């Protein structure tokens, strides 16, 4: 059995329903759960932690059924938003608080001194939480949880109140610590960059339902619904109709799909019936700009000539809005823009490889 197995959890918390949540997590893996606010992310975590009892379903952790265990007996570390340090206690008192609460933590196999050293908080011990930076708070909160020697960690958007730069630093640090101690964790966030940076597995939650869960790359490349595709940041999603399907090797099909007047070729491992209405997803980084010379070489199906409507600079790349027989958003580095002479108002040629287009069937 997996290290953590959540099977068919249903829960009703005030007026909110968690519906049929199932997933599994191996030891040392990190699952990030991504969803808009109000999707039930925190409630799912708090149900796993034991603050709410599921109305049906089971939770197994390390071969033990913990579905009905009280919070303090689950051996699960929980990191809340802003880290929820006890403001009236010093860092040292915070870190040793589990020993104050329960004698059983006196004999954990992790020595408090060792944890303090590992997380570099020796010189913070006499300070109060209000005098700590975001990074220091995170390390103190981790240390405080590690004293209880938890079997796994739950993170409820601990960094959502911090600024982008600090968040990035803390994320790297956190990942480093979790991987070093090979800790299993579930990390909840509404930020897809955070979700894909931290997670080995990614789950998408909406309206109390886990819509898709799987390996990070699987979710990134093959979202199972328009909602997931949109939420993980795929810029180009449009309806199309399948017009032909041809087997080109033992496990690959060449599929042609039509959106308005544009016909695109797609390579897929799955067969699909002709005339089916589907959605096509193209990541903006998969739209390739071609030099003028290459334009003449018109052997590819997926070659499009589009007008550049606008170019917008973001932090380190440019967003290019293309329009014509189809509207697309592409991204590109400044160098490419200069080299390929991409200018607003000009017609440019782009190519989309058949492997990079993903079909959403429903």
Contact residues toward other proteins (CB under 8 A) are 14, 46, 49, 51, 71-72, 74, 76-78, 80-82, 84-88, 97-98, 100-102, 104-105, 144-145, 147-148
What is the separation of C-alpha 357 from the centre of its chain, rounded to a whole number of angstroms? 21
Strand partners of residue 65: 60
What's the min distance (Å) between Cβ of 43 and other proteins? 12
Residue matched to tokens 């956190």: 174
Q: Which is nearer to other proteins, 188 or 278 (CB)?
A: 188
The 3-class secondary structure across the chain, one letter per residue, is CCCEEEEEEEEEECCEEEEEEEEEECCCCEEEEECCCCCCHHHHHHHHHCCCCCCEEEEEECCEECCCCCHHHCCEEEECHHHHCCCCCCHHHHHHHHHHHCHHHHHCCCCHHHHHHHCCCHHHCCCCHHHCCHHHHHHHHHHHHHCCCCCEEEEECCCCCCCHHHHHHHHHHHHHHHHHCCCEEEEEECCHHHHHHHCCEEEEEECCEEEEEEEHHHHHHCCCCHHHHHHCCCCEEEEEEEEEEEEEECCEEEEEEEECCEEEEEEECCCCCCCCEEEEEECHHHEEECCHHHHCCCCCCCEEEEEEEEEEECCCCEEEEEECCCCEEEEECHHHHHHCCCCCCCEEEEEECHHHCEEECC
**Integer CA distances (angstroms), 161 to 81, 167, 170, 249, in order:** 7, 9, 12, 51
What's the min distance (Å) between Cβ of 316 and other proteins? 35
What's the min distance (Å) between Cβ of 361 and other proteins? 41
Q: Which is nearer to other proteins, 41 or 74 (CB)?
A: 74
What's the min distance (Å) between Cβ of 288 and other proteins? 47
What's the min distance (Å) between Cβ of 80 and other proteins? 4
Q: Which is nearer to other proteins, 89 or 321 (CB)?
A: 89
Q: Which is nearer to other proteins, 15 or 250 (CB)?
A: 15
Q: Which is nearer to other proteins, 130 or 362 (CB)?
A: 130
What's the min distance (Å) between Cβ of 343 and other proteins? 46
Q: Which is nearer to other proteins, 15 or 314 (CB)?
A: 15
What's the min distance (Å) between Cβ of 276 and other proteins? 47
Q: Which is nearer to other proteins, 71 or 344 (CB)?
A: 71
What's the min distance (Å) between Cβ of 147 and other proteins? 8
Q: Which is nearer to other proteins, 84 or 226 (CB)?
A: 84
């Amino acid at each position: 059995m997996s290290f953590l197995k959540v099977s068919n959890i249903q829960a009703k918390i005030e007026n909110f329903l968690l519906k049929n949540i199932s997933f599994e997590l191996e030891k040392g893996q990190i699952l990030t759960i991504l969803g808009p606010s109000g999707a039930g992310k925190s409630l799912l975590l708090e149900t796993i932690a034991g603050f709410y009892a599921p109305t049906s379903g089971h939770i197994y952790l390390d071969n033990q059924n913990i579905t009905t265990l009280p919070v303090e007996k689950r051996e699960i570390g929980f990191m809340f938003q802003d880290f929820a340090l006890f403001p009236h206690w010093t860092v040292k008192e915070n870190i040793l608080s589990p020993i104050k609460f329960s004698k059983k933590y006196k004999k954990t196999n992790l020595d408090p001194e060792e944890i303090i050293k590992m997380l570099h908080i020796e010189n913070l011990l006499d300070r109060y939480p209000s005098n700590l930076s975001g990074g220091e708070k995170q390390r103190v909160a981790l240390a405080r949880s590690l004293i209880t020697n938890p079997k796994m960690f739950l993170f409820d958007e601990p960094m959502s109140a911090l600024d982008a730069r600090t968040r990035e630093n803390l994320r790297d640090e956190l990942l480093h610590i979790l991987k070093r101690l090979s800790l299993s964790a579930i990390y909840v966030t509404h930020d897809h960059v955070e979700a894909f940076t931290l997670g080995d597995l990614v789950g998408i939650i909406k309206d109390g339902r886990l819509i898709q869960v799987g390996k990070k790359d699987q979710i990134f490349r093959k979202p199972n619904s328009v909602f997931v595709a949109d939420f993980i940041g795929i810029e180009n999603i449009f309806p199309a109709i399948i017009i032909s399907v041809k087997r080109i090797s033992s496990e690959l099909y060449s599929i042609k799909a039509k959106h308005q007047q544009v016909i695109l070729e797609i390579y897929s491992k799955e067969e699909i019936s002709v005339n089916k209405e589907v959605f096509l997803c193209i990541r903006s980084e998969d739209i390739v700009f071609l030099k003028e010379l290459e334009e003449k070489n018109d052997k590819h199906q997926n070659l499009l000539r589009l007008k550049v409507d606008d170019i917008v600079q973001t932090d380190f790349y440019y967003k290019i809005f293309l329009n014509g027989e189809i509207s697309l958003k592409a991204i590109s580095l400044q160098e490419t823009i200069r080299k390929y002479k991409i200018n607003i108002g000009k017609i440019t040629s782009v190519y989309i490889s058949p492997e990079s287009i993903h079909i959403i069937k429903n």
